[in-house]
Structure 1
Amino acid sequence: MPAEQEPDTYQTRCPYCRAICDCDLVDVGVGLVQCGPYHCERCGASEAGSSPEDLARQDPKTGWFRPGEPPSSLANMIDGRLATAEETRGAYRARFAGNPDYDEPGVVEDWYAQQRQPV
């Protein structure tokens, strides 16, 4: 039986199924900074954020959301799935660059809420 792979510096193990999990990182010039939750592609669990909402609904034993629960309200999402910061920035720019809707109250917030919903 092959040895179990060890996670690298920017990975961790899922507290539910033990699969290796990744998170979104951005290069800020002096190193990488985590900008999205660790998430498990195998079972769907994701790391909770630090917002009061996340702290209230996280699994207190793990600090994660259980498989099948929606990710953090702070997580970047496109079409109801976790997305990288780069993907989210691209979708935002495609929708609002040069678009006068940007100045209409609530339009950006509504777009953001729609991105959290599965297609």
Structure 2
Amino acid sequence: MAGSFADLDPVRHGGSALRGFLNIAREWKLTEEEQRQILGIRESAVFEDLRIRIQAHEPVPIAEMVIIRIGAVLSIYASLGTQLPPDRMPGWLRSPNQAFEDRTALSVMTTGKLEDLDRVARYLLSVRG
């Protein structure tokens, strides 16, 4: 899923990317820990600082890898949006799925590995048609 990010400006794109992610996380009813795992942010204090700065509309430089992870989440969200109404997305994420060896998509997404986020995104793209 990762593409060319040569023109990526972590300050210019970081805030809007994280704001979009936080909106999706709220819609999906993700816990803070799930959000941090998906983004690859280990420290709770770092994540909280980012959230506070986003809410204050301050410029927020985001690591390129975090922006790439947000891109995978956007792909997952878009694919789910073609298949389910928004209120059913959290249930799908938390339901066992044979495509993931009876694990939930969310448990795959929260391993902390970018390739697992990509795995869920690719699966949804394949069933989307």
TM-score (norm 1): 0.29
**Which is strand-richer, 1 or 2?**
1
Q: RCO greater where, 1 or 2, for CA within 8 Å and sep 6 or more?
A: 2
**Which is helix-richer, 1 or 2?**
2
